[in-house]
Amino acid sequence: MANRDRLCVQLMSDALFIYPDRLRGGKTETLQGVLPAEAIGPEFSGGIAVGGEAYLAGERLVLSLDLDGEVKIPCKICNHPVAVPLGVRGYCHVEELEGMRPRGMCRGKIDLTPIIRGILLVEVPPFAECEGSCPERKRLEEISKKESHGFHPFEKLLP
C-alpha cells in the first residue's frame, strides 16, 4: 500500500513528464525537477536533479538534459560504498515520437525516467576507490608482497 501511495505522488508530479502536444508550434519546455531514488534506483540515494529543455523537431522529441547527483558504488579495494559525484551537461537525446507510443507514452505524456536512467547507467564509472586511495590498499600491497616472496606450491610445475 505504501508503495502504491508513493507511485501516485510521483505520477501526479508533472516535473519529469513531457507532453509532446504542448510542444507543437515550436514551443520549448524547460525541465526542472528531482528524480527520487525510488524512481531511479537505490544507488542514486540522494536523487538526481534534472534540468534542461525539450522541444520537437518534426516528429522527433529532442531533449537537452543536465543531470546532477551522486551514485554509491563499492570501493574496488575494501568494498565499502563510495559516493561518486555525477554531473552531465547538455546531454542531447532524440526520440522518434512514433516509436515511443507503444512504450514510454501514456495518455499523451512521456515519462523521462527510463531515458534518464539509461543516460546515468552509461555515466556511472566502472570502478571507484575510497577518497582516491583506499586506506586498505597499503595492507593489501603488504600481503601481496609477502606472498610473492614466500610459498610457491606450484613452482616445480613451471618449465
CA–CA distances in Å: residue 143 to residues 29, 79, 148: 57, 17, 9
What's the closest the beta carbon of residue 131 comes to Zn ion, in angstroms? 8
**What's the rounded Cα separation, in Å, for the pair 41 and 97?**
26
Is residue 73 at the binding interface for Zn ion, with CB under 5 A as the rule? no
Is residue 128 at the binding interface for Zn ion, with CB under 5 A as the rule? no
129, with CB counted inside 10 A (0-12, 13-18, 19+), is middle
Is residue 130 at the binding interface for Zn ion, with CB under 5 A as the rule? yes
Q: Which residues are bridge partners to 5 per DSSP?
A: none
Beta carbons of 33 and 16 less than 8 angstroms apart:
yes
Is residue 84 at the binding interface for Zn ion, with CB under 5 A as the rule? no
Q: Which of 35, 40, 77, 115 touches Zn ion (CB under 5 A)?
A: 77
Identity of the residue, 131 or 155, whose beta carbon is nearer to Zn ion in the bound complex: 131
What's the closest the beta carbon of residue 123 comes to Zn ion, in angstroms? 21
Is residue 75 at the binding interface for Zn ion, with CB under 5 A as the rule? yes
81, with CB counted inside 10 A (0-12, 13-18, 19+), is middle
What's the closest the beta carbon of residue 84 comes to Zn ion, in angstroms? 13
What region does 47 belong to: left with phi over 0, alpha with psi -120 to 50, or beta? left
Q: Which of 78, 86, 100, 124 touches Zn ion (CB under 5 A)?
A: 78
Is residue 134 at the binding interface for Zn ion, with CB under 5 A as the rule? yes
What's the closest the beta carbon of residue 135 comes to Zn ion, in angstroms? 7
**Sole window of 44-52, 88-96, 112-120, 132-140 interacting with Zn ion (rule: CB under 5 A):** 132-140
- Residues in 24-53 that interact with Zn ion by CB under 5 A: none
- Nearest CA to 45 out of 84, 15, 79 is that of 84
Binding site for Zn ion (CB under 5 A): 75, 77-78, 130, 134
